[in-house]
Amino acid sequence: LFTHIDHVGIAVRDLDEAISFYEEKYGMKMLHREENEEQGVAEAMMAVGDSTSCIQLLAPLNEKSTIAKFIEKNGVGIQQMAYRVESIDEVCATLKERGLRLLYPEPKRGTAGSRINFIHPKDAGGVLVELVEPNPEGMH
Ligand code: V0V
């Protein structure tokens, strides 16, 4: 069903500070950075070595952001686990058949034009699971 770990998402308060930490302490390179208003986030994708898996640093764009709510409740730290898929439409249909709740009826726009959806954490053992179908012209 899933082909790779696409990224692990980490909620941070200050994106620039977090990017500097990952660059300076871990030597990671930033592959991409953008603001996604629909998701309420400023985000940066940090490459883990030469793999295509990333750490996604997520800072809230405003106080209504899901990331602001997450930090208020839990503090900073791991917010989500994202698996890469080939066809998000097929994978979502299969997961629905298996009784899992997806957050969106149709995929939304994610990093670099990817298509994304989420499994509700209450149906996934307390883990917010994101599904990512990358944009072929995007990062990977
Ligand atoms: C909430 N819960 C979580 C959680 N967020 N559990 C594990 N991991 C998380 N991140 C639990 C929470 O502890 C509650 O459990 C319950 O779910 C309801 O939480 P809530 O605080 O009342 O929050 P809600 O229901 O308002 O919102 C939770 C959901 C929301 C997951 C529905 O965060 C959401 O829509 N997330 C998807 C979008 C997103 O995260 N966007 C930002 C990343 P108890 O206390 O009732 O037991 S954007 C992104 O990843 C992009 C652009 C990309 O990758 O391309």
Please check whether residue 86 lies inside any domain of the structure: yes
CATH number at residue 51: 3.10.180.10
pLDDT value at residue 107: 98
pLDDT value at residue 138: 87
pLDDT tens readout for residues 82-125: 999 999 999 999 999 999 999 999 999 999 999 999 999 999 99
| C-alpha triplet 31, 34, 35: angle, nearest 5° | 160
Residue 95 structural domain = 4-133
Q: Distance (Å, rounded) from C-alpha 59 to C-alpha 94?
A: 31
Task: Give me the number of domains the chain comprises.
Answer: 1
pLDDT tens readout for residues 31-82: 999 999 999 999 999 999 999 999 999 999 999 999 999 999 999 999 999 9
Please check whether residue 122 lies inside any domain of the structure: yes
Please check whether residue 34 lies inside any domain of the structure: yes
Q: Distance (Å, rounded) from C-alpha 100 to C-alpha 74?
A: 24
Ligand 1 centre from 45 Cα, in Å?
20
**Mean pLDDT score of the chain, rounded to an integer?**
97
pLDDT value at residue 42: 98
Please check whether residue 139 lies inside any domain of the structure: no
- Which ligand 1 atom is at minimum distance from the Cα of 70? 5
Q: Which of 41, 95, 17 is nearest to 7 (CA)?
A: 41
Nearest protein CA to atom 8 of ligand 1, as residue: 128
Quickly state the pLDDT bin for 140 (edges 50, 70, 90): low
